[in-house]
Amino acid sequence: GDFSRQPDRHLLGAETPTEPPHVLIVESTYGVMEHEPRELRELRFTSAVHNIVKRGGRCLIPVFALGRSQELLLILDAYWRQHPELHGVPIYYASGIAKRCMRIYQTYINMMNDQVRDAHAAGRNPWEFSFVRNLPSSHQFDDAQPMVVMASPGMLQQGLSRELFETWCSDRRNGLVMPGYSVAGTLANHLLTEPKEIQTTSGDWVPVNLSITYISFSAHSDFAQTSEFVTSLRPRHVIHVHGGEDEMKRLQRALAKRYDPKEVEFLTPQNCQAVHLRFPGDKVARVIGSLAEVAPADGAEVSALLVLKENKYTLLAAADLHTATPLASTTIVQRPRFRYDRPILELLAAVGRIFAFEEGAEEE
């Protein structure tokens, strides 16, 4: 259900399927919220990082191993290339998993956007950065100078990103730039409230003096992307997943206002809750006999018999019934008789309002 319709520095946006689905499963991560434009987002990101190292601080960027890390590396490497005054400031990439994930991007160049594919076609590896270097260990580098470190995990719960944050958070020159979504209950989410101090993993309390900047580079769809995606596909059923209950409900209500409930059904199931869907079955009939000799024009009326046998439908002309099937046609003639004492003309007038008389019938 996770997707993004917005292309970024290396990946294409989610494509629209050629065949509209009956069921669309979509995420609800951001509910009815909308992302800021990509250009503005990148400008805020590079400005925040630049301001931190310019004042002599160390910039920590907690990231996940796959997805946004590669985009941020491309942005930073391009920005450093355009600013010679930053060439002496190192950018460290500290994630063993992310380095292994980089092989996936190098292998599937054909799934990247035009910018990455064109660079590869010209003989330049877009994943060989000019200003980004790997950080083998937090104990093997000197952090006395301004620098930028991208480290995992993105939620700051443990690992190198948590270790560096606890070491740097007391210095006002330093800064934390959070580029992704943070789950409630994690340190990354707690820092959005700008606490005065936090408890370290060892149990000590340390002051939080560094600057904290949140810029969403999340690859999750926002309301504008989700609503546009649903409109382009027009599925019969939409199932919301991957989101908090409140966000899912808000997204469901906002989308449901735009469609007739008889046309599109929006569902927000709980975890492990079964979803039961009803689909109108398409009935297909095989056309045989003289009826199949000439294809009817679009919109033309067809007079035929529909035969059902063993759950299979057959369409044929009435004249072909006895030759194409073991069935036979029978003509039934009904002659009703009743006593009538009124004038015959009154009876004929009444019957004429219901049935058409054949020629000569009135004379008889």
Give me the active site residues, please.
Answer: 220
In the block, residue with structure tokens 């007739």: 260
Is 61 within 8 Å of 72 (Cβ atoms)? yes
Q: Do strands 305-309 and 197-199 pair parallel, antiparallel, or not at all (unpaired)? A: unpaired
Write the CB contacts of 127 (distance below 8 Å, at least 6 apart in sequence). Answer: 70, 102, 105, 106
Write the CB contacts of 81 (distance below 8 Å, at least 6 apart in sequence). Answer: 130, 131
Strand, helix or coil for residue 323: helix
> How buried is residue 29: exposed, middle or buried, by Cβ count under 10 Å (0-12/13-18/19+)?
buried
> How buried is residue 23: exposed, middle or buried, by Cβ count under 10 Å (0-12/13-18/19+)?
middle
**Cβ neighbours, 10 Å, residue 126:** 21
Enter the DSSP assignment of 346.
H
Two tokens at 216?
């969403």
Enter the DSSP assignment of 281.
P
DSSP string across 159-175: HHHHHHHHHHTT-TT-E
Would the CA dihedral through 212, 217, 221, 224 be positive or negative?
Answer: positive
Cα separation, 45 vs 76, in Å, equals 9
With left for phi above 0 and alpha for psi between -120 and 50, is residue 280 left, alpha or beta?
A: beta
Question: In the chain, where do the E strands start and end?
Answer: 23-27, 58-62, 91-94, 132-134, 147-151, 175-178, 197-199, 205-207, 211-214, 237-241, 265-267, 285-287, 305-309, 312-316
Is 307 within 8 Å of 314 (Cβ atoms)? yes
